[in-house]
Chains A and B, each alone.
Chain A
Amino acid sequence: KNQVEQSPQSLIILEGKNCTLQCNYTVSPFSNLRWYKQDTGRGPVSLTIMTFSENTKSNGRYTATLDADTKQSSLHITASQLSDSASYICVVRGNNAGNMLTFGGGTRLMVKP
């Protein structure tokens, strides 16, 4: 069964600090992995997409990594800001009939001043 597990479930950090969110998946065959950010009261918004051949990709203060061998991805946030407070959702797309999406349960991040 395709699964996406995210950790931690929730995280509190101080403004200016760094943090790393984890995503482990069992989706096979694998097509790509996307990180979404969901602000409170909003729908998810795509941050970055990782394909099989990509190990690292940055989008401003966000850096995503992918290890396709161990089926793990991480999202590193540098110099956190209050506006980073949100839920971060890992979504994996399979490379099979229908190319279905499997969603993780998300990590809720709170950045405190």
Chain B
Amino acid sequence: GAGVSQSPSNKVTEKGKDVELRCDPISGHTALYWYRQSLGQGLEFLIYFQGNSAPDKSGLPSDRFSAERTGGSVSTLTIQRTQQEDSAVYLCASSGGTVTEAFFGQGTRLTVV
């Protein structure tokens, strides 16, 4: 596609439910990144994919968070048993080279009520 696309743009979910956030990277980009911004906080790194593998998942805050990437393209970030502290903007980026060449999606705003 022309840019990095994230869906949904907004998601409201009840505490305890599972949610899936989707990222469609720019076609041909091998690297994909997930970040999040909690309320009142700066953006923080979650996980990085190169192709379908994740060489760096050091930023995932707990085992309730997981991510996968299939076909070297679409990625899904899954949050199980959501908690109110998971409320944040989740941002995806993709790159054909290094992280310094990444293009960002517009983010998914997740609200856990």
A binds B: no
Name A's B-contacting residues (CB within 8 A).
Answer: none
